[in-house]
Chains A and B, each alone.
Chain A
């Protein structure tokens, strides 16, 4: 079967992505503000924004393999949008943690980032996504040249850090985090060649 991705279809695909990513986020914060998110709205917001950020990142990592498999080069044009929404959710997650969970206790924030491994890896993943989002414009891409691609390869590391953040944060029920690990590893497996090259390059520059 041959699917053709016309500009018109691509436009509607982007509209759908915008709506299905932005509306739930607005809705969940509205529900939280009027206390309609169950017993503890803070936990609910943290879980929702966190898992959604991970979902969006995994979907964005699915774009390239899909585009290759179905010869849909134009599909790559939704990748940045998905990645940016992953960042928006991660930002909402991080800000909710500071604002609602820690109630702006900055010292506690710093000591938790330093002392708690699951917060540490989550924080690093956030910093990576922040850098990628900040350099996501065409202008930055031109300006950075080859560095841009190197920088954006860090998305794979972010994926691994997020998966760690998730599995280390749960108390005993690790089934769902394990499913996410499996999904991530499948997506990384599609890039086996690229990743082994990256690892070799890293080793070289370290040696």
Chain B
């Protein structure tokens, strides 16, 4: 007979985290005299442990404390200054600059170059042989997960050709845990190259996009696998496929730029969004992947409306056409109600060129735009239903700012406009001495907008975090993904979900 504690534990998902945290590094111009690393929660309140600085000389303090052999002052491999350089047109081999690239992070709990604990202990991966790493080579094969509130992917599944593999989670080459070739479960094997895969944990739907090759083939077969067991819970991948309750497919011809850029987002309602960076722009389409509705095997019979091009401004920007690690990214909000397919606005990692979609109903989506060309930063899940990041201007003389915006978690009707809430530079206007008169009229909302579904674009304003950069003079703080946000009630007291009597 199970004890009460066992019964309680069985109801708690041990993967669940508190609201998102982010790391924040500020240093002096030479990167040696002063170095401050802090971790903040979604309210920009500090968490983690304080650090002390032992010296203001060339004793390479951070080399000893953080094991940062990549950017140590002496005996360095890749330069001394990690935050003051400005990422503009440079790629990944401009090692220190690329730390600020938008491509550093996505929904997975690590960066391409580093990992960071919630206590503020950051350590960079070695850059030697970086082009052989998981993120560089096959990061684009990772599954895009739609997960419940407070949960990020804790298992790493990669899909290529007709084999789904599980790897040790992280950016390494440490071998597979398991693999399974699912060809016998496919109802059509014309196209044999898996180029994008999405999984939804609520409806246990695994949706794969197979093409004629991994580059520019426009022939597509979309496979839908629905199981009675959860992919994130099974011991073997085979178990997921052995318990399929429905399997369907449809074919289509999709204009593509590079098939490695496809992102698949499986909505709770069975509609699936497919998006990719396309030239300097981006494209998004939504298809009905529900099974058992006799929808047929052509894309035309399943598509919602038409393909939508990104509606924000575009300029020169790059993708997997240049190298695999610049693959189009996916992230979702802490509560799992809104997702974002995104890439950079400018070259290899500055600004934001994104579609944000409701994960209950991916037919509800808008374009989101930040047209920065320098002093950028990555973007992270933020608060309950939002994202933020993207800015690293000099904090000598002004408070740090971030591009932060959030959605209404219940706003899932694609026939109406989408409400976006955001911050600004002044709390006097954020919470003004007037009422918001009508949320359907943008001009009457303070620090909020309503955007036309599908064809509308939202430009994100900056808002002040009122953080200093970590150094008293010129400082361009770098933002980091945190590998574990912690659990509410243990070390984090910011927010733990909707509880109460």
A binds B: no
Interface, chain A (partner B; CB < 8 A): none
